[in-house]
Each structure stands twice: as C-alpha cells, then as structure tokens.
C-alpha cells in the first residue's frame, strides 16, 4: 500500500510537512491554514481548532521565509554592537534576544568591531530584509545610524549619547553619572582622585569622565589623572590600573564600567593595596557580576532591563503601526553602595545654644 507524503514524513522525518498537507488533513483550504498562522487574521474558532489539531498531528511548522514573501515582513530585527569582547555585556545580549523572541521577533546579530564592520553589517541587514535595527553600543562607527535610517529602516540607538538628533536614543545621562561619583567620593573625604575609562572615542567614557571632572571642579579640585585603556575588558582594566599606579597614588579611582573596575580591583590586590581602606574603586552599569561576593563593587546603576524593554517596545509598536513615532528616553541612574568605597563621613550637627 502506498503511503502519503505526510506518512513518509512522520515515519522517517526526511521531508518537511507542507501547508497543503495540513489543509488536506484538516479538510480546509490552504488559505485557511495560512490565516490560522497569520497574526490577527480572520478565522473562526472552529476552523482554527481543526487546523491546529492537524498541524500538531503532522508536526507542521509555518515556513517564515515563504510567509515573508507574502507579507513583506521578515520579523527580523538587526542587533548590532561592538561589545562582544566584553563578557559582562552577554547579560545585555541575553536581555535583547529574550525580549525580541517574546514578541515574536528574531534577532539578526552583527559585529561592528572589525574594520569595515559597519558596511558589512548594513549590507547584511539589507540582504536579509530586516524590519528594524537596534544599535547596542555607545560607540558605533561614524555614520552607521544615519545609513540605516537612510535605508528606510526604523532604528533605535541604545546606550548612545543623550541629545542625539540622528535617531531616537535610549540611554542614561552619563555626565550626571560622573558627577554623582565625584560627589560620593568627596563626601567620604577623598580628594586625590582619578578616572580610568575604556575607549577614548566612546561617548559614554568621554561623558562620564567629563561629569566626574566637573563634579570635582565644583569643589575646587581636578582629577589627578584621566586615562583611557583602549577597550572595555578585565585585562584592560587590570593593566590600566597598574599603569596608573606606576605614576600616581590616588585615594580612589572611578572606572568607566564594571568590567574595567573588576580588573582594577584585581590589580590593587596584586599590589597588596587594601580596598577600600587604601584605595577606593567605583564602576558603572551595575552588571550582575558587580555584586559577586569576591568583588562587592560600588557602582552606578543604569537600568539595563528597562532600557532594553523600552527600545524593543518602540520597535514593536512601529512595526505594528508604520506611523508610530519612535520615542527615545533618558533613564535615571543611582549609586549602588557596596564595599569598594569607605563609608561617608558622618555629618556632625552644630551644638545648639552655644553663644
């Protein structure tokens, strides 16, 4: 007896089940199958149940590539960054991919780090017909965001510089973050202070250093050193801290992000410097590893999860409504106090009644 193609698929798993086979098994038209698996399409509950039961029995999954030819939508969102060498940033990519997939969207990841990475990334976005682009770095190649926008792609820049008018930006006020760290160090009686950043072209490093310097200037001070290691990595932080300590002996160092700060902490341990008794360290981001018991890093929290969700909410709303205006947002920051700064000096109230 001759078996049907669907029987051959079930027995051997060698062939992909088609929508036509599902339609035959459910006793409906192929258009009914298509409508069942199309979001917001009109199909009766009874017909939907028949189609889904047949699809389940046959192991059918819709062909998204074929569907994109009909709808003009791929459900792909380009996720481009230059932070793949930073292990702490893997938590951020995890947030992006989970939030995209929760909305039925799929990330297409591109690395901007290599020479020519911007052109290659944009070519890939266009070749795969992504529906939108998320830029997840504070230092994209010059002109990349504009190129995406000129190509007609909805774009959101996460971790960009506040006030950018090129594309909507979801970020925090990094200048204010730098000032917050300066004020926290000054409140502890620390005066000989330094900044250790990542890449010197990175807007977040530049702005955090600027805010830190302005916070000290308000107290009549200047940082004893403002240095950039060239990248955000534990090793760059460790070596950068050793280089800094070869020339200066600050009471505290503000590091441009948490992974640099952890490298700086380990450099202090290698030199036998007690933290925070002999030197204080502050990071930025409040990545999960900052709270590890071996570090307990004092840092500035930027609400990563909320920032990622807002960016993806804006993209999803735009894809649902082409007229939806994508809105950037400036999120609040906060100092998270752990164990790498000494406690603030107590405020001693003036005694009343003394003339």
pLDDT at position 156, please?
96
Token digits of residue 86: 């930073």
Residue-by-residue DSSP string for 272-306: T--TTTT-EEEEEE--GGGGSTTT--EEEE--HHH
Across the range 313-332, mean pLDDT stands at: 94
Across the range 8-32, mean pLDDT stands at: 71
pLDDT at position 22, please?
81
CA distance 309 to 296: 27
pLDDT band at 354 (very low <50, low <70, confident <90, very high): very low
Task: Find out whether 14 and 22 touch, Cβ atoms under 8 Å.
Answer: no
Task: Find out whether 241 and 271 touch, Cβ atoms under 8 Å.
Answer: no
What does residue 251 show for φ and ψ, rounded to 5 degrees? -80, -25
For the domain made up of 5-62, the CATH class stated in words is mainly alpha
Q: How far is CA 109 from CA 70, 121, 143, 199, 304, in A?
A: 24, 9, 19, 22, 19
Token digits of residue 286: 């409040």
What is the number of alpha carbons within 13 Å of residue 117 lying toward its C-beta?
A: 16
Instruction: List where CATH 3.40.50.2300 sits in the chain.
Output: 76-172+304-331, 174-301
**Does 76-172+304-331 carry CATH code 3.40.50.2300?**
yes
Q: Among the residues of the chain, which ranges form H helices?
A: 5-12, 19-26, 30-36, 45-58, 64-71, 90-102, 117-127, 144-150, 174-186, 203-217, 234-247, 258-270, 304-320
pLDDT band at 348 (very low <50, low <70, confident <90, very high): low
Closest CA to 275 of 256, 255, 295, 260: 295
pLDDT at position 245, please?
98
Starting at the edge strand that comes first in sequence, how are the strands of the sheet with 329-331 ordered? Answer: 106-111, 76-81, 132-136, 155-158, 169-172, 329-331
What does residue 107 show for φ and ψ, rounded to 5 degrees? -80, 140
pLDDT at position 347, please?
56
pLDDT at position 3, please?
40
Q: Which DSSP letter does residue 87 get?
A: G
The CA R_g of the chain, rounded to the nearest whole Å, is 27
Task: Find out whether 252 and 190 touch, Cβ atoms under 8 Å.
Answer: yes
On the question of pLDDT at 14 being above 70, the answer is no
pLDDT at position 187, please?
96
Return the SS3 of 35: helix
On the question of pLDDT at 4 being above 70, the answer is no
pLDDT tens, position by position, 119-149: 888 999 998 889 999 999 988 888 899 999 9
CA distance 265 to 244: 13
pLDDT at position 6, please?
41
CA distance 107 to 179: 36
Instruction: List where CATH 1.10.260.40 sits in the chain.
Output: 5-62
Return the SS3 of 107: strand
Token digits of residue 254: 């503000």
pLDDT at position 5, please?
42
Whole-structure pTM value:
0.80
The strand pairing partners of 169, in sequence order, are 157
pLDDT at position 258, please?
96
Is residue 330 classed exposed, middle or buried when 0-12, 13-18 and 19+ CB atoms within 10 A define those classes?
middle
The strand pairing partners of 253, in sequence order, are 194, 281
Q: Which of these CATH numbers, 3.40.50.300, 3.40.50.2300, 3.40.50.880, 1.10.10.60, describes 174-301?
A: 3.40.50.2300
Work out the end-to-end distance of the chain between its first and last CA atoms, rounded to an integer number of angstroms: 112
pLDDT tens, position by position, 142-182: 889 999 999 999 999 999 988 766 899 999 999 999 999 99
């Amino acid at each position: 007896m001759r078996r049907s193609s669907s029987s051959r698929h079930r027995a051997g798993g060698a062939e992909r089940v088609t929508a036509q086979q599902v339609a035959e098994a459910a006793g409906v038209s192929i258009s009914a199958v298509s409508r069942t698996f199309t979001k917001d399409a009109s199909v009766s509950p009874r017909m939907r149940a028949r189609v889904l039961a047949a699809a389940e029995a046959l192991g059918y999954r819709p062909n998204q590539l074929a569907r994109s030819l009909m709808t003009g939508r791929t459900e792909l969102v380009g996720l481009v960054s230059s932070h793949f060498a930073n292990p702490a940033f893997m938590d951020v990519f995890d947030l992006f991919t989970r939030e995209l997939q929760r909305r039925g969207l799929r990330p297409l990841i591109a690395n901007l780090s290599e020479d020519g990475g911007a052109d290659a990334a944009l070519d890939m976005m266009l070749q795969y017909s992504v529906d939108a682009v998320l830029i997840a770095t504070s230092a994209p190649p010059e002109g990349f965001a504009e190129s995406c926008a000129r190509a007609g792609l909805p774009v959101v820049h996460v971790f960009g510089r506040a006030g950018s008018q090129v594309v909507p930006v979801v970020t925090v006020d990094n200048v204010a973050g730098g000032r917050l760290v300066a004020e926290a160090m000054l409140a502890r009686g620390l005066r000989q202070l330094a900044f250790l950043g990542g890449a010197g072209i990175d807007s977040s490093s530049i702005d955090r250093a600027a805010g830190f310097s302005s916070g000290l200037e308000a107290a009549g001070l200047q940082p004893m050193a403002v240095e950039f290691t060239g990248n955000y990595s534990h090793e760059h932080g460790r070596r950068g801290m050793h280089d800094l300590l070869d020339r200066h002996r600050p009471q505290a160092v503000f590091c441009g992000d948490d992974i640099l700060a952890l490298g700086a902490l380990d450099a202090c341990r290698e030199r036998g410097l007690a933290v925070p008794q002999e030197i204080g360290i502050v990071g930025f981001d409040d990545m999960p590893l900052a709270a590890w018991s071996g570090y307990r890093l004092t840092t500035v929290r930027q609400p990563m999860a909320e920032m990622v969700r807002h960016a993806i909410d804006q993209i999803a709303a735009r894809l649902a409504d082409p007229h939806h205006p994508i809105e950037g947002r400036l999120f609040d920051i906060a100092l998270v106090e752990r164990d790498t700064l000494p406690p603030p000096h107590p405020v001693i109230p003036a005694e009343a009644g003394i003339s």
